[in-house]
């Protein structure tokens, strides 16, 4: 069984229709640790040693957050800047994350149709996530396709239940190594494997 660490960042969780439900749904899944950065560090003073130890102890890392201005909330950027240090995560002696799997779990207010060439945002979500993929590459991690929830502002209760179910199924499938690597590489978003 693989151990999963969710690095979660949402500065206004009380306003979220989807992330509150996603995080609540995974709290009791065996082998899953939820690390809520805004809750744990309201002053933004990250405990770097603790964060690095959590990374070492887990096999799969998830960066979960709303997609703000084509990126992540501020505390997650702070986490990248301070936790993924040379000598720990990358560089000649930085091999602590080598071979671990990592993926982004994001929500966006826009539809998939506006995240494409010719769409209002001109690029796909995967193209916007290239800095995360390259960060994983630098840290010798295996970057998996993201789990993306579009139209987060207008989701119905039924839609939310559907996404929550798929998310839980994904975590359990990753934890128990039930997804064929060939299938992972064949999809744009991991949601597609959870049909």
What are the structure tokens assigned to 117, written together?
Answer: 């060439």
What are the structure tokens assigned to 96, written together?
Answer: 């602590």
Cα–Cα distance, 172 to 31 (Å, whole number): 9
Whether 76 and 11 have beta carbons less than 8 Å apart is answered as: no
Question: Which tens digit of pLDDT belongs to each residue from 83-110?
Answer: 999 999 999 999 999 999 999 999 999 8
Whether 146 and 105 have beta carbons less than 8 Å apart is answered as: yes
Q: What CATH class is the domain 4-194?
A: alpha beta
- At residue 152, the 3 state secondary structure works out as helix
Domain boundaries, the chain: 4-194
CA 28-49-84 angle, 5° bins:
90
What long-range pairs does 77-81 form, CB within 8 A, spacing at least 24? 78/44, 78/46, 79/7, 79/9, 79/37, 79/46, 79/51, 80/135
**DSSP H/E element including 64:** strand 60-66
Question: Which tens digit of pLDDT belongs to each residue from 113-170?
Answer: 999 888 899 999 999 999 999 999 999 999 999 999 999 989 999 999 999 999 999 9
The pTM for the full model equals 0.96
Task: Tell me what pLDDT residue 171 has.
Answer: 97
The residues facing 106 across adjacent strands are: 65, 148
What are the structure tokens assigned to 109, written together?
Answer: 């207010």
Question: Which tens digit of pLDDT belongs to each residue from 168-194?
Answer: 999 999 999 999 888 898 999 999 998
Task: Tell me what pLDDT residue 102 has.
Answer: 98
Question: Which tens digit of pLDDT belongs to each residue from 48-61?
Answer: 999 999 999 999 99
Whether 8 and 61 have beta carbons less than 8 Å apart is answered as: no
């Amino acid at each position: 069984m693989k151990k999963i660490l969710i690095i979660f960042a949402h500065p206004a969780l009380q306003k979220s229709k989807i992330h509150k439900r996603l995080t609540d749904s995974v709290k009791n899944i065996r082998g899953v640790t939820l690390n809520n950065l805004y809750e744990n560090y309201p002053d933004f003073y990250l405990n770097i040693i603790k964060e690095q130890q959590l990374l070492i102890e887990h096999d799969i890392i998830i960066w979960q957050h709303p997609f703000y201005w084509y990126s992540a909330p501020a505390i997650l950027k702070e986490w990248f800047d301070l936790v993924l240090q040379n000598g720990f995560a990358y560089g000649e002696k930085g091999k602590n994350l080598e071979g671990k799997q990592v993926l982004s779990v994001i929500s966006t207010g826009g539809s998939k149709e506006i995240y494409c060439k010719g769409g209002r945002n001109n690029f796909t979500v995967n193209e916007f996530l290239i800095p995360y993929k390259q960060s994983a590459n630098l840290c010798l991690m295996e970057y998996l396709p993201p789990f993306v929830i579009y139209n987060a502002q207008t989701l119905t209760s039924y839609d939310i239940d559907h996404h929550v179910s798929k998310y839980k199924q994904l975590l359990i499938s990753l934890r128990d190594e039930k997804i064929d690597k060939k299938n992972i590489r064949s999809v744009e978003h991991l949601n597609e494997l959870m049909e």
